[in-house]
Structure 1
């Protein structure tokens, strides 16, 4: 594609050099530049792409899009724009042939529940015969191609590349987790959505957004932008039980379907039955019974996620009978209220909860089905919203019997400072243990557990790494918990050889 064609969709402030250059690819990472590439200099959180233009030129770039004054090597055509990050989405959309226009694109946003909701939508559509792709926190999948995700919503260039891969793989529906960061940083610019789904809104990411108003404004952009573009048959799907629902309904300039449990929503769950093995409920649509179904995860939050997925599936033509049949067979979502079953006489649950509301939801659900004590292990991420740390400490101390505070991904922060912030919110009504070694903290929780207890390991969910200031190490909560159970089982076998006592009460 000629550079002139790519530049035609921009509004350059200044141009220098020839536009009659054949562009072989687009990159924003100078280390990945190949001869003939267009390099987009994007300011980042740590590094600024403008500082690497010379390196891009050495590697063979023929043009650069910039958004501040910088020395550009004379062999490069220079395209100056107001915002290079936004320009990246616009240019990538054109370069890859407007892939979102060839797909039904479903965006799911909200503080909690995005991953589970996208997985449920994916399962409903695929089991009903559609070809679906997914972009989210756990992985990215287009046809047979699947990769672990780097972030919830990829950079605009990467997102457009994945959407193009879906088109090539004959995918009909692209299901995207859309984070507030992605909306604020224009990662979904160039992506035309058909359906926008809102799960819920609670505190998170205030380190980035500054306050809840800005955070909500970022979320609302997904809905206010639905009316733009050339596609028709669009829809906003909104959780009517959330207090911000009226604002999002007003922002949506396309038809709206609401869902919920408490309010008179278009799609409602009624006669909900919660058990340790899942949630069963009736589906009402416009007050009419459409069927009875279940999901294999307990808790009201699970019902809300299911209702959002049901609303999408029904709008996309999946029959109510199929929805009711498919949902109970949904595969577990990695790290989302995921049980660890290693033969122990108590529950171990892994969950990604890393907000006050998310932690409260899973603790209340765990408490509902636990006859013994609830032991929670959690920490808070470094270089992230500090204001939520004492709130999470307060929630944990109110709803758990034993709270073990440990590291999450401390990043560049001192883990002791993070723990100190959490401790400010701790109530004095429970046992509190601080263990900065996450593996040790998990082993301690498992060792403390007795038959009938529950160990909840929160914060990292599906993640298989831990991020420190100077390193990233392999770390898997589920793996460590299974190993801890095995160690105690072996100790019990040894003790039975010497006496008839087993610490888990077996003889």
Structure 2
């Protein structure tokens, strides 16, 4: 592809005569100098901690001769320097051009909000695939389409990766993409050149505000709302207290869903149910000119909101109602209120709840089901704000009968520092707690102390199958550890009964 085609709609200046270089053949783009080769454009991105301009010489040495820069830097005379105001914005447009603007030929559904993004995107994919609309997923758990999967570093990958994935999906027969759109992804211009057909707002609460994230909550809200200036159709949870601001800032047509307030789609007559391998909820749906019953095998009010978002999408895309309801009834997401049917006398649940709001939601939801003790095993990420630790501790000490305080992703911080911060919340609480910094041992202990009717939540890790320790991702599967621990417990019980 020629440089002229890649730079279409990008505003720039050049250190050489444009007519002399515009037909330069380009093999690919790279924003990591170590991936550069002959014929590659190197895009120097200024990040939070790393400035790509410092690696331009390395990119040159690896063969790059075309550079996207915000600042002038010294390079050999044959280097073509293209100066832009913001290299992230340039990368977004260039990536879309390079891969043939694939989002134009796909139905893109973007989901944003503090909680529920992963569940909603995966539910949408399951339902639409059952309805015959080949749908891929991009988000926290990775990229999935046609039985294939790919790990993602960020919830919303860099713009180059997104357009590469779109092109691969499109060439593989995918017609629709259900993707999580994080506030960070919006802030860093990763989704700027994606043509969204539908944007969904789930909810908003204080999170991701602090160093290396959003400077203020207002900025966080602004980033979330920006998605509704990039889409043709918006679907909004009207019950969220920030829904009005989202709607006011949107430029697309808006449809609403809710439980408490008047909306285009409303749920009522809610009923909770419980089985060995799931905690579910049934409800009645009222929409314009129709009414029907729905069920989802995930508990709580938040699950109803997630389901309403999916139902709204299906109605907009005119999916057959019977197919939608049947697919929704069986939809599950790994690590999101995932029930492990490993003990016949206690309920074991794995959930990604890693902040105060999400933990409060899951714990209050579980309390609606019959139980003996509510036990929560959790920690908090090392090197992050202490406010999150306090919020987690405050919620767990108030809602639980027993807590096991352990590590999450400690990284370079001593897990006991994090645990001590959390433990402060238990000083005047009736909730007992156990300290065990080794998460594997903590899980085994939780299984060991389980009694008839207990509900035990392993919170914070969810789908993650690693622990971040001193900069290294160490393989770690809560599911596997819990299963093995339960097998030992059940085997011991059988031996005692036989003796």
What interval of TM-score do these two structures reach, taking the shorter chain for normalisation? over 0.9
Residue in structure 2 matching 1:173, options 165, 171, 176: 176
Residue 33 (structure 2) pairs with residue 27 (structure 1)? no
Residue 207 (structure 2) pairs with residue 204 (structure 1)? yes
Q: Does the aligned pair in 2 maintain the 1:205–1:384 contact within 8 Å?
A: no
1:230 maps to: none
2:296 maps to: 295
1:222 maps to: 227
Q: Does the aligned pair in 2 maintain the 1:282–1:289 contact within 8 Å?
A: no
2:98 maps to: 95
Range with greater deviation from structure 2 (157-166 or 404-413): 404-413
1:246 maps to: 244
Q: Does the aligned pair in 2 maintain the 1:194–1:235 contact within 8 Å?
A: yes
Residue 413 (structure 2) pairs with residue 408 (structure 1)? no
Q: Does the aligned pair in 2 maintain the 1:203–1:355 contact within 8 Å?
A: no
Q: Does the aligned pair in 1 maintain the 2:406–2:438 contact within 8 Å?
A: yes
Residue 283 (structure 2) pairs with residue 285 (structure 1)? no
For 2:320 and 2:445, how far apart are their aligned partners in 1?
48
Inter-CA distance 378–73: structure 2 relative to 1 (3 Å threshold):
farther
User: Over aligned residue pairs, what C-alpha RMSD do you find?
Assistant: 1.7
For 2:109 and 2:22, how far apart are their aligned partners in 1?
36
For 2:162 and 2:414, how far apart are their aligned partners in 1?
34
Residue 58 (structure 2) pairs with residue 51 (structure 1)? no
Q: Does the aligned pair in 2 maintain the 1:199–1:238 contact within 8 Å?
A: yes
Q: Does the aligned pair in 1 maintain the 2:8–2:97 contact within 8 Å?
A: no
Q: Does the aligned pair in 1 maintain the 2:14–2:80 contact within 8 Å?
A: no
Deviation of 1:56 after TM superposition, in Å, equals 1.4
Alignment of 1:421-460 (within 5 A): 421-426=421-426, 427-460=428-461
For 2:67 and 2:415, how far apart are their aligned partners in 1?
40
Deviation of 1:100 after TM superposition, in Å, equals 0.8
For 2:236 and 2:299, how far apart are their aligned partners in 1?
22
Residue 173 (structure 2) pairs with residue 162 (structure 1)? no
Residue 65 (structure 2) pairs with residue 76 (structure 1)? no
Range with greater deviation from structure 2 (173-182 or 146-155): 146-155
For 1:44 and 1:491, how far apart are their aligned partners in 2?
54
Secondary structure of residue in 2 paired with 1:206 = coil
Range with greater deviation from structure 2 (47-56 or 351-360): 47-56
For 1:74 and 1:492, how far apart are their aligned partners in 2?
77
Q: Does the aligned pair in 2 maintain the 1:269–1:303 contact within 8 Å?
A: yes
2:134 maps to: 131
2:464 maps to: 463
Deviation of 1:489 after TM superposition, in Å, equals 2.5
Residue 256 (structure 2) pairs with residue 258 (structure 1)? yes
Aligned length: 489
Secondary structure of residue in 2 paired with 1:194 = strand
1:326 maps to: 327
Q: Does the aligned pair in 2 maintain the 1:344–1:485 contact within 8 Å?
A: no
What 5-or-longer segments of structure 2 have no aligned partner? none
Residue 35 (structure 2) pairs with residue 36 (structure 1)? no
1:269 maps to: 267
Q: 1:313-357: CA deviations, max 9, x gaps?
A: 110111333322321122x20001001122442011000111211
Deviation of 1:416 after TM superposition, in Å, equals 2.6
Inter-CA distance 70–405: structure 2 relative to 1 (3 Å threshold):
farther
Q: Does the aligned pair in 2 maintain the 1:206–1:385 contact within 8 Å?
A: no
Deviation of 1:175 after TM superposition, in Å, equals 0.9
Range with greater deviation from structure 2 (355-364 or 145-154): 145-154
Q: 1:110-137: CA deviations, max 9, x gaps?
A: 0000011011111121111111111111
Deviation of 1:215 after TM superposition, in Å, equals 1.1
Inter-CA distance 490–269: structure 2 relative to 1 (3 Å threshold):
same
Secondary structure of residue in 2 paired with 1:424 = helix
For 2:10 and 2:325, how far apart are their aligned partners in 1?
47
Range with greater deviation from structure 2 (193-202 or 274-283): 274-283
For 1:141 and 1:337, how far apart are their aligned partners in 2?
20
